[in-house]
Structure 1
Amino acid sequence: MDNADVADKDIPNGDVEDLEALVVGAGFGGVYQLRRLRQEGYKTKLVDSASDYGGVWYWNRFPGARVDITIPHYEFSDPELWRSWSWTQRFPGSAELRAYFRFVAEKWDLRKDTYFSTRITAAVWNEEEGKWLVTAANGRHFRAKYFLLNTGFAAKRYIPDWKGIDRFQGTWVHPSYWPKTEPDLTGKRVAVIGTGSTGVQLSQQFSQVAGEFVLFQRTPNLALPMRQVEYAADEQAFPRENYTKFFTDRTQGFGGILINFLPRATFDDTPEQRQATYQKLWDEGDFHFWLGTYHDMMFSWDANKEAYTFWRDKDQRPKLKEMLAPEIQPHAFGCKRISLEIGFYEIFNQSNVSLVDVNATPVLEVTEKGIKTTEKLWEFDYVICATGFDAVTGGFNEIDIGGTSGQKLTDKWLEGVRTYLGLAVSQFPNMFFTYGPQAPTAFCNGPTCAELQGEWIVNVLNHMREKGSKSIDAEEQAESEWTKGVSAIANASLLPTAKSWYMADNIPGKVRQPLIYLGGVPTYYKTINDCAKNGYAGFNLK
């Protein structure tokens, strides 16, 4: 069926809600867009499959779940919010983050224009009308000029295709499906599969209560100390009178936070100076040792090895050191997602904790009682499958999106993702997205990019309104050049040398390519704004 043939007769009762903009996803990106588009006078609705705001933090409610970006980085810059909101920790937990979203929803009066428990399943571009016809699983239908996706980089769970999972008689759960009623794991036999950020956080929690705790590891996590801080009363990281300048300045940090690489290379310093620099960064906690270090750390193997050697030789390493901090560097430091830890390495000194290297003893199958490796059968009551997500593109592929001439987005991306500016896709007019492929995304603080990309999208919609334009579509040549540029920046670094979800390595069959723009937030921000100043060069307006 041609897209132009889609009509009300194809929808039960012809029940279609007409909008100017439909925003998908109620995390930072989505709620910011709803607020701003309403302020600009657009008839807008926000939809989300969850039952409340929070995006990934609605789902990530497992024990120990917390953000690894410090406050006040990890909040909106609106003074109406920060003047009256206080955090209890430097790195807030997921429950506090959900409370923050409820606070934002009240302050910005979002609920009247939000549909929860509404999972979008399909969206089709109608060329004749210049609108998107969007369908939800619960029977809602929308007709909107603009289709704005904010699905984030962790929207589609990934569970390995291990033989026998369906036979397991205990509880097998992906942590983003964690039950709202907390199960009691005291004294239980508990396994965590995976050593990403979630695996680290879960391990720190469950190792303290489980009778037997086992972590299944494929790759060691080169985690850094978090340095958590508890705040009392109205105490915060620094006085609120400094917040206005802070929120302006955070856009100038490489990752949308006020941490920047040093203006010198690793071997510009003497060995003694390097050790002192590394130690200072280490003591600060957060991502300073990763993103505030020498500027050549992720571009030079010799520089990278220096950083890894310092990390490996920290004196708090426990037994099992060769598995957790190998003598031979397992991959380029910082080229897999760095996690922040609070006592993670110390848990392996406990008698109830075991570490299984699935490279040395691969998993053969899952049985009724547990996980069978080439070494033994490990019996469990609970298995938490912290194996991550079909990162960055998974949320898009969960929706059947049809563009011009009936082209499917999944088909277009079959041989690799292509976008323009990490904001749009050629042949999918009037569709924009935040925190998606080929933008800074995982190398950008969520609220920072929600505001930067969100404002750009609002501005382009205003530009179209002023010009009386019906549609805007990225040019294929511009898209091709952007995609090549993203790869060129990544290939100049050590990032492609490591297997990671940054390179789409964690999903079998997924095309290996850099999914993240690595030029940094300031350069990205300048680039998209230059595009706007030049009349939205690289786009066709009709």
Structure 2
Amino acid sequence: MTTTSHSVEADYDAIVIGAGFSGLYILKRLRDLGLSARLYEAGSGVGGAWYWNRYPGARTDSDSMIYCFSEWFDEDLVREWGWRERYSSQPELERYFNWVADRLDLRRDIDFDTRLRSAVYDEQAALWTLTTEQGSVATARYFIPAVGALSDPNVPDFPGLADFQGPCHHSAQFPKDGIDFAGKRVAVIGNGATGVQIVPEVAKTADSVRHFIRNPCHLVPGRNHVLAEADVEATKEAITEILGYSRNTFGGFPYDFLGTALDTSPAERQAAYQKSWEQGGFTFLFLFADVLASREANDTTMDFLREKIRTLVRDPATAGLVTPTDPWLTKRPPLEHGYYSALNRDNVHVVDIKANPVDAVTSNAIRLADGTEHEADVILLATGFDSYTGSLSKIAIRGRDELPLTARWADRPRNHLGLMSAKFPNMFMLYCGPYNPAPFTNGPTLIEQQAEWILDWIQYLDANGHVAMEPTEAAEEEFFALHSEIANSTLIPETSSWWTRAAAGADEPRLVMSWAGGFPEYRRLCDVNAAGKTDHFVLR
């Protein structure tokens, strides 16, 4: 139990929401500091996104050796687990999370099947009161939503969708027991990371797969493979050095830019693209540092990708449908694990719903605007998420003076560093706040850095007799101005995606929701705003 300076007892020092990487990390580290903590998880198990996303082909796009907890979390765990594949599948990741939770006895501080309904701040008591949908109520000094940037499923409102007679599931709501696709006509709607993973897997057994797409994604090959035992052991030995290097690169990965495309000769540039394409993975994203700022540089990548698609997809019409027109890297490029080769199968067909949108769903078909009907036995919705604000807005969060978070963010999200919002004291948005660099950064690398920043502040507050902190509105505006300056110097605002929002004014660029200045610069800003080193926060 904890007592504030106002002598009001709190049930816990901190309550954390979500049992994925971020929630489990900070739960364990809070315990390390001797603080009392409770974690609420809507699902029945640990894993966060990797508990919910059970769709066929679900797999990480970060190399497994860095998509895990580091030595900052636990010195022993980092060398004990051996990954089976270059990119971990959902079942392997879920096994990993369960192993971590059991190994460190984390479940004793987790309430499963518990969804948060509201979080209300009491300024006089300097406490958060959290109420769950199950009716339980608890108070805490610190409220830490760790709900992820992509956890609120976006289910399209197609007329008649509820009348469809077969199985219909969003990729994040896929049944645990799976679906037998043998002999079935399957419709996959959406072509982000989930859609391009689902299609090649389902096509192996389905009678037919129709992939309904609007804006094709940029894809690069993953080159997934089973890891040799010798390589696994060698990685374990060097893992702290690998992770240490990764923390200093633009994306938090163990590789960084070679240079700039426009300062590289065409022959050398082509060779670099080809070598990275053959190697597979996100090295392709970090070849040339100018491709996001220069259309001319960006076109060198686009030319390479267009030629690859023409080579890989036999039917020219299909190749045209899946060739992206948005500038390279202006939305998250998924890794490709057999998608292009699946398009060469007789049972796979691409349907353009940008030119011919979905009009309605009937009991057994998807009807398009021109009246064409595509019969289906199963519909899989790979339609993404309400990014960044969706999961937070689903919780009735009210700060000082009963101010709803949704009201304060009505025109645009307002926060400092993507971590805290003025008028919401002691609420730390771990890996879920708008303007944090999540899409551009290896998840665990960013999560652990943000969590340590939060923990340092909590220790500072406790050591110096402060009961609450929040950023100043001036600090928020200063951060947003820097964020916008960087984002608007790139090509990202040219593309509509989950990275962006519509502009407030007709002449303004799209609002970019993710920090685009790279992980080292983001970490530097956090260090400048570290505990006791800044006047960007009001301490009470």
Per the normalisation by structure 2, the TM-score is: 0.93
Alignment CA distance shift 1:154-1:42 (3 Å): same
1:18 and 2:14 are equivalent in the alignment: no
Query: Hey, what's the Cα distance between the residues in 1 that align with 2:323 and 2:281?
Result: 25
Give the equivalent residue in structure 2 for 1:55: 48
What does 1:54-453 correspond to in 2, within 5 Å? 54-78=47-71, 79-233=75-229, 235-236=231-232, 238-263=234-259, 265-290=260-285, 292-314=286-308, 316-325=311-320, 330-373=325-368, 374=370, 376-436=372-432, 437-453=434-450
Deviates more, 1:480-489 or 1:233-242: 233-242
Alignment partner of 1:473 out of 470, 475, 497: 470
Preserved CA contact (<8 Å) 1:90 1:237 = no
Shift of 1:327: 10
Deviates more, 1:201-210 or 1:310-319: 310-319
Provide the identity percentage.
Answer: 36
* Residue-by-residue CA offset, 1:370-395 (whole Å, 9 max, x unaligned): 10012511111100011000011111
* Residue-by-residue CA offset, 1:259-281 (whole Å, 9 max, x unaligned): 22223x21212221111111112
Preserved CA contact (<8 Å) 1:222 1:325 = no
Q: Secondary structure at the match of 1:54?
A: coil
* Residue-by-residue CA offset, 1:403-425 (whole Å, 9 max, x unaligned): 01111001111111111011000
Q: Secondary structure at the match of 2:511?
A: coil
1:539 and 2:537 are equivalent in the alignment: yes
Deviates more, 1:46-55 or 1:359-368: 359-368
Query: Hey, what's the Cα distance between the residues in 2 that align with 1:234 and 1:112?
Result: 36
Give the equivalent residue in structure 2 for 1:527: 525
Preserved CA contact (<8 Å) 1:503 1:512 = yes
Query: Hey, what's the Cα distance between the residues in 2 that align with 1:501 and 1:414?
Result: 18
Shift of 1:129: 0.3
Query: Hey, what's the Cα distance between the residues in 1 that align with 2:253 and 2:266?
Result: 29
Query: Hey, what's the Cα distance between the residues in 1 that align with 2:103 and 2:96?
Result: 10
Count how many residue pairs are aligned between Structure 1 and Structure 2. Answer: 522
Alignment CA distance shift 1:34-1:234 (3 Å): farther
Preserved CA contact (<8 Å) 2:11 2:138 = yes
Opposite residue 29 of structure 1, the aligned amino acid is S
Shift of 1:140: 1.4
Q: Secondary structure at the match of 1:435?
A: coil
Give the equivalent residue in structure 2 for 1:12: none
Query: Hey, what's the Cα distance between the residues in 2 that align with 1:386 and 1:329?
Result: 18
* Residue-by-residue CA offset, 1:484-529 (whole Å, 9 max, x unaligned): 22111110000001111100369xxxx9511101111111111101
Shift of 1:163: 1.0
Opposite residue 294 of structure 1, the aligned amino acid is F
Deviates more, 1:378-387 or 1:476-485: 476-485
Preserved CA contact (<8 Å) 2:218 2:324 = no
Alignment CA distance shift 1:274-1:491 (3 Å): same
Alignment partner of 2:515 out of 511, 517, 539: 517
* Residue-by-residue CA offset, 1:343-364 (whole Å, 9 max, x unaligned): 2111121111111001222211
Shift of 1:537: 2.9
Give the equivalent residue in structure 1 for 2:5: none
Q: Secondary structure at the match of 2:15?
A: strand
Give the equivalent residue in structure 2 for 1:459: 456
Preserved CA contact (<8 Å) 2:79 2:239 = no
Alignment CA distance shift 1:505-1:163 (3 Å): farther
Opposite residue 528 of structure 1, the aligned amino acid is C
Query: Hey, what's the Cα distance between the residues in 2 that align with 1:414 and 1:355?
Result: 38
Q: Secondary structure at the match of 2:51?
A: helix
Q: Secondary structure at the match of 1:176?
A: helix
* Residue-by-residue CA offset, 1:155-188 (whole Å, 9 max, x unaligned): 2110111111111111111011111112211010
* Residue-by-residue CA offset, 1:229-258 (whole Å, 9 max, x unaligned): 202446428432211211211111211112
Alignment CA distance shift 1:186-1:505 (3 Å): farther
Preserved CA contact (<8 Å) 1:434 1:453 = yes
Per the normalisation by structure 1, the TM-score is: 0.93
Opposite residue 429 of structure 1, the aligned amino acid is P
Query: Hey, what's the Cα distance between the residues in 2 that align with 1:26 and 1:505?
Result: 31
Shift of 1:427: 0.2
Query: Hey, what's the Cα distance between the residues in 2 that align with 1:220 and 1:325?
Result: 10
Preserved CA contact (<8 Å) 2:217 2:322 = no
Structure 1 segments unaligned to the other structure (5+ residues): 1-7, 9-15
Q: Secondary structure at the match of 2:80?
A: coil
Opposite residue 352 of structure 1, the aligned amino acid is N
Preserved CA contact (<8 Å) 1:305 1:329 = no
Give the equivalent residue in structure 1 for 2:4: none
Alignment CA distance shift 1:480-1:322 (3 Å): farther
Deviates more, 1:440-449 or 1:395-404: 440-449
Q: Secondary structure at the match of 2:499?
A: helix
Give the equivalent residue in structure 1 for 2:26: 33
Q: Secondary structure at the match of 1:425?
A: coil
Shift of 1:329: 5.8
Shift of 1:534: 5.5
Alignment CA distance shift 1:279-1:234 (3 Å): closer
Q: Secondary structure at the match of 2:529?
A: helix
Deviates more, 1:513-522 or 1:310-319: 310-319
Preserved CA contact (<8 Å) 1:221 1:324 = no
Shift of 1:320: 4.1
Query: Hey, what's the Cα distance between the residues in 1 that align with 2:454 and 2:392?
Result: 18
Query: Hey, what's the Cα distance between the residues in 2 that align with 1:237 and 1:194?
Result: 39
Q: Secondary structure at the match of 1:532?
A: coil
Give the equivalent residue in structure 1 for 2:485: 488
Query: Hey, what's the Cα distance between the residues in 1 that align with 2:491 and 2:297?
Result: 11
Alignment CA distance shift 1:70-1:176 (3 Å): same
Structure 2 segments unaligned to the other structure (5+ residues): 1-7, 504-508
Preserved CA contact (<8 Å) 1:496 1:503 = yes
